[in-house]
């Protein structure tokens, strides 16, 4: 990991594929949820996966994180096939999904939550590099320092001593990101992380993602919130009916007639039903 230019300056990033989704198909009985899906997420890139409800985004997310097996195709991370790997083995490769609020231990402190995450994981590289820590196993003191750094990064350090269950909804989601960071990701995957958040919680969450982006963490974001997607993404992949219909930078996606049609089409159907 390198500490790169502050995010938002959008320095051009070299296109080195980190994650490759190759010819993925997913069938649920007779239903084709995904057919022949292909895209890459490049190192250090924020890639958003968008599309109308039922497009297959969560299914794709679950394939990548090992919670579902594809009917066909391969996902590779840094050249290694993820076929047949269990979710925890994929996490061990540095590919970490954020946890929802239910994964936060409600009855222990915010700080202890992150310490638990740090004790569970193996060797660090992200935090070792960031804090210039030696390569031996971290001492308890170093783990505590790391936990505080992570909490500072996600902006809940001031609540470190409080019981996790006492945090607001938005702060619990940020603690979920802290737990994911404790697992030492090189790539972070988020499925609708700001759903249910109010505007200020969403803004705080976006600031954290922007910081992580600036640290060189590769991010795959599945999200409905278009201002957020347009504001933070280097590239956007659009799915509709289980297929990729567009892949490009935000400006190109915003003006893509097929993308506009996919969203308007669903909107029109939904309005007709309501
Ligand atoms: N476990 C499952 N069993 C059967 N059908 C499923 C299952 N999961 C998702 N689907 C179907 O697959 C399609 C894609 O769903 P999903 O990936 O959740 O879409 P999105 O996240 O884009 O809204 C939908 O038609 C959905 O009903
Ligand atoms: Mg979904």
**Tens of pLDDT, residues 52-95:** 999 999 999 999 999 999 999 999 999 999 999 999 999 999 99
Instruction: Give me the chain's average pLDDT, please.
Output: 88
Judge whether residue 107 has pLDDT over 80.
yes
255 pLDDT band (50/70/90 cuts)?
very high
What are the residue ranges spanned by the domains of the chain? 41-106+169-273
Q: Among 56, 62, 191, name the best residue to mutate to test ligand 1's pocket (greatest count of ligand atoms within 8 A of Cβ).
A: 56
264 pLDDT band (50/70/90 cuts)?
confident
Ion ligand 2, residue ranges at CB < 5 A: 57-58
Q: Is the beta carbon of 246 within 6 A of some atom in ligand 1?
A: no
273 pLDDT band (50/70/90 cuts)?
very low
CA-to-CA separations, 194 to 153, 171, 175, 224, 263, in angstroms, rounded = 17, 11, 13, 9, 20
**Tens of pLDDT, residues 203-232:** 999 999 999 999 999 999 999 888 999 999
pTM of the model: 0.87
For 41-106+169-273, which CATH superfamily applies?
Answer: P-loop containing nucleotide triphosphate hydrolases (3.40.50.300)
**95, β-bridge pairs:** 187
């Amino acid at each position: 990991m390198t500490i790169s230019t502050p995010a938002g300056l959008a320095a051009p990033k070299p296109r080195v594929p980190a994650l490759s989704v190759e010819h993925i198909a997913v069938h649920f009985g007779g239903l084709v949820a995904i057919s022949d899906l292909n895209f890459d997420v490049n190192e250090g890139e924020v890639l958003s996966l968008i599309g109308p409800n039922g497009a297959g985004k969560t299914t794709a997310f679950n394939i990548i994180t090992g919670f579902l097996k594809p009917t066909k195709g391969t996902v590779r991370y840094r050249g290694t096939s993820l076929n047949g790997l269990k979710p925890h083995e994929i996490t061990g490769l540095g590919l970490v999904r954020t946890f929802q609020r239910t994964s936060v231990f409600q009855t222990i402190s915010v700080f202890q939550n992150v310490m638990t995450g740090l004790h569970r994981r193996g060797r660090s590289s992200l935090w070792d590099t960031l804090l210039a820590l030696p390569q031996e196993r971290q001492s308890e003191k170093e783990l505590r320092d790391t936990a505080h750094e992570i909490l500072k990064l996600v902006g809940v350090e001031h609540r470190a001593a409080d019981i996790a269950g006492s945090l607001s909804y938005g702060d619990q989601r940020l603690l979920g990101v802290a737990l994911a960071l404790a697992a030492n990701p090189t790539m972070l995957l988020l499925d609708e992380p700001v759903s249910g958040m109010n505007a200020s919680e969403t803004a705080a969450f976006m600031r954290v993602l922007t910081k992580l982006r600036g640290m060189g963490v590769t991010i795959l974001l599945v999200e409905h919130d278009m201002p957020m997607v347009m504001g933070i993404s280097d590239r956007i992949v659009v799915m509709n009916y289980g297929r990729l219909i567009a892949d490009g930078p935000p400006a190109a996606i915003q003006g893509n007639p097929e993308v506009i049609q996919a969203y308007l089409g669903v909107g029109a159907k939904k309005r007709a039903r309501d």
